[in-house]
Amino acid sequence: MVKVISEAEYGQVQECPLAVLDFSATWCGPCKMIAPILEKLSEEMKGKVGFFKTDVDASPGLAARFGIQNIPTLVILKNGEEAGREMGFKPEPLLRSILEGYLN
């Protein structure tokens, strides 16, 4: 399950050994396309990867903190530190492969 968070809840992301933070917006078409893929992957990777989502319009400070200029942007965090970043829509097989790379 992808947990929707605000800036105040960002600490939950840092508690995960491996986390995906999805920066998106309700008006963004590619964000709507990637959302069900992230939901599916969150179920498959439950217990290994934490999945979080934040709306750039509702959490502008968090978006600024990460320098988000395009959405969707997935920020991958290992032990609270940014380990990678994926921008734009990615098909499920590619996204799964990318995330599995961070698990190894």
Is 16 a catalytic site residue?
Answer: no
Nearest to 25 by CA among 49, 51, 60: 60
Q: Could you say which of 2, 19, 28, 38 is catalytic?
A: 28
Three-state DSSP at 62 gives: helix
Q: Could you say which of 2, 16, 21, 31 is catalytic?
A: 31
Residues in the chain: 104
Q: Active-site residues: which are they?
A: 28, 31
